[in-house]
């Protein structure tokens, strides 16, 4: 359970009076009372939310590739069938793919049927930004949905030559093969000069599956921010790699119930958290622990950045081994 925070604002006439701070305090207290141990948001201004304990928990990738330079290494040719579907069919098919990807990807949130129909697949004119309608393509392999793409085309002609592009708004596959075939379809849409996309996972396999990865113009920017509302339950809610233990000294001025020394012990991937009395191995602010929570950044990186203090030799490495994830955290949608 997580609090999804969005559309936070203060009237221009009421700025610099502490109103935002009061609102955020009430919101975090409310989330804690509901049993939501973490809160997440997309920050329009990064600096603001760090004041309230949010840490940068993920980054997103962007691509802008010439369509005629998009190819695959060791390509064995296309498999499966890709077809376009209407909204009614998309609401029935796409969630099964999304949910299977979300099972192994930190940072993805559950979507209800209402969310799919009235938000993700909703296509009002003001969302098109001058492009065409939102198209919905489903990849089927052996008759089973294994991937999909949501995209729109931006047509433009210059001297009889099409200089438009396909904008991929969301695309994913349940495995490496399906992911490749979904992007094969997107790269194959005719009369487009380029293919663009953003909100991609930072470890997207396209970087390693194309003979000219530079052509992707792959760039990364910060996206998803996370706040540990209730530290103990939050750490016990996630899984860990293997066995081990580490003790944190945590500073949290905004939510003082999180401040203090905490011992994390992981056995067979399951974590147990207790308040500790012994010497801590790592000293950090709550924003630093939030930054490592989903696995986007390591404790060692934060030590090198001067944000986390390693008080015991090897503590950062032990924490890194526990918090490591097989896939980089990814939130595919702004909410």
pLDDT for 46 equals: 86
pLDDT for 318 equals: 97
Q: Alpha-carbon distance 53 to 31, whole Å?
A: 14
Place of tokens 């490495």: 317
Q: Quick check: 104 and 239 in contact, CB under 8 A?
A: no
pLDDT for 323 equals: 98
Q: Alpha-carbon distance 197 to 213, whole Å?
A: 15
Closest C-alpha to 49, from 12, 18, 24: 24
Instruction: Outline where DSSP puts E strands in 201-295.
Output: 219-222, 224-228, 244-251, 260-267, 270-275, 282-285
- By CB atoms closer than 10 A (0-12, 13-18, 19+), residue 108 is buried
pLDDT for 223 equals: 83
pLDDT single digits (tens) 295-314: 999 999 999 999 999 999 99
Neighbours of 147 (CB within 10 A): 27
Q: At CB < 8 A and 24+ separation, what contacts does 308-314 make? A: 308/282, 308/283, 308/284, 309/282, 309/283, 309/284, 310/281, 310/282, 311/249, 311/279, 311/280, 311/281, 311/282, 311/283, 312/279, 312/280, 312/281, 312/282, 314/281
Q: Quick check: 58 and 224 in contact, CB under 8 A?
A: yes
| Mean pLDDT within 277-287 | 96
pLDDT single digits (tens) 218-277: 999 988 999 999 999 999 999 999 899 999 999 999 999 999 999 999 999 999 999 998
Q: Which residues contact 97 (CB under 8 A, 6 or more apart)?
A: 145, 146, 147, 148, 172, 173, 174
Residue 121 sits at the vertex; the CA angle it makes with 80 and 143, to the nearest 5 degrees, is 20
Catalytic residue numbers read 49, 335
Helix, strand, coil share (%) of the chain residues, nearest 5: 30, 30, 40
| DSSP SS3 for 3 | strand
Two tokens, residue 71: 């190819």
Q: Which residues contact 169 (CB under 8 A, 6 or more apart)?
A: 134, 150, 151, 152, 197, 199
Closest C-alpha to 98, from 41, 169, 63, 146: 146
Q: Which residues contact 48 (CB under 8 A, 6 or more apart)?
A: 20
Q: Quick check: 196 and 131 in contact, CB under 8 A?
A: no
Two tokens, residue 35: 């049993």
Mean pLDDT across the chain: 96
| Mean pLDDT within 170-186 | 98
Q: Buried b / exposed e across 52-83, counting CB within 10 Å, b at 16+?
A: bbbbbbbbbbebebbbeebebeeeeeeebebe
- Give the C-alpha distances (Å, rounded to integers) separating 85 from 136, 145, 164, 188: 6, 12, 23, 18
Q: Alpha-carbon distance 99 to 90, whole Å?
A: 14
pLDDT for 277 equals: 87
pLDDT single digits (tens) 53-104: 999 999 999 999 999 999 999 999 999 999 999 999 999 999 999 999 999 9
Say what percent of the chain tops pLDDT 70.
100
pLDDT single digits (tens) 121-160: 999 999 999 999 999 999 999 999 999 999 999 999 998 8
| Mean pLDDT within 157-176 | 95
- Convert 118-148 into a string of H (helix), E (strand) and C (coil): HHHCCCCHHHHCCCCCCEEEEEEECCEEEEE
Q: With bands split at pLDDT 50, 70 and 90, how would you rate the model's confidence at 45?
A: confident
Higher pLDDT pick, 161 / 227: 227
């Amino acid at each position: 359970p997580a609090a999804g925070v969005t559309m936070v604002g203060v009237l221009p006439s009421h700025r610099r009076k502490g109103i935002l701070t009061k609102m955020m305090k009430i919101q975090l207290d409310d989330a804690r009372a509901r049993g939501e141990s973490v809160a997440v948001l997309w920050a329009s201004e990064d600096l603001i939310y760090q004041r309230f304990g949010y840490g940068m928990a993920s980054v997103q990738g962007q691509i802008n590739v010439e369509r005629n330079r998009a190819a695959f290494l060791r390509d064995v040719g296309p498999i499966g069938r890709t077809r376009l579907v209407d909204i009614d069919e998309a609401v029935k098919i796409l969630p099964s793919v999304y949910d299977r990807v979300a099972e192994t990807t930190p940072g993805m949130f559950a979507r209800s049927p209402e969310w799919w129909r009235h938000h993700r697949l909703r296509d009002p004119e003001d969302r098109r930004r001058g492009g065409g309608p939102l198209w919905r393509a489903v990849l089927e392999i052996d008759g089973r949905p294994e991937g999909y793409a949501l995209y729109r085309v931006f047509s433009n002609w210059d001297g009889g030559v099409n200089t438009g592009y396909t904008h991929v708004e969301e695309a994913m596959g349940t495995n490496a093969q399906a992911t490749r075939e979904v992007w094969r379809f997107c790269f194959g849409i005719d009369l487009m000069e380029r293919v663009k996309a953003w909100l991609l996972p930072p470890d997207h396999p396209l970087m390693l599956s194309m003979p000219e990865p530079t052509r992707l113009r792959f760039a990364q920017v910060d996206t998803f921010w996370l706040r540990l509302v209730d530290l103990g339950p939050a750490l016990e809610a996630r899984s860990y790699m293997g066995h081990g233990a580490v003790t944190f000294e945590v500073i949290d001025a905004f939510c003082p119930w999180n401040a203090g020394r905490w011992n994390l012990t992981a056995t067979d991937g399951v974590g147990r958290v207790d308040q500790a009395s012994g010497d801590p191995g790592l000293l950090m602010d709550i924003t630093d622990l939030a930054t490592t929570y989903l696995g986007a950044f390591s404790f060692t990186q934060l030590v090198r950045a001067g944000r986390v203090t390693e008080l015991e030799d090897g503590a950062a490495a032990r924490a890194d081994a526990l918090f490591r994830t097989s896939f980089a955290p990814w939130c595919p949608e702004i909410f």
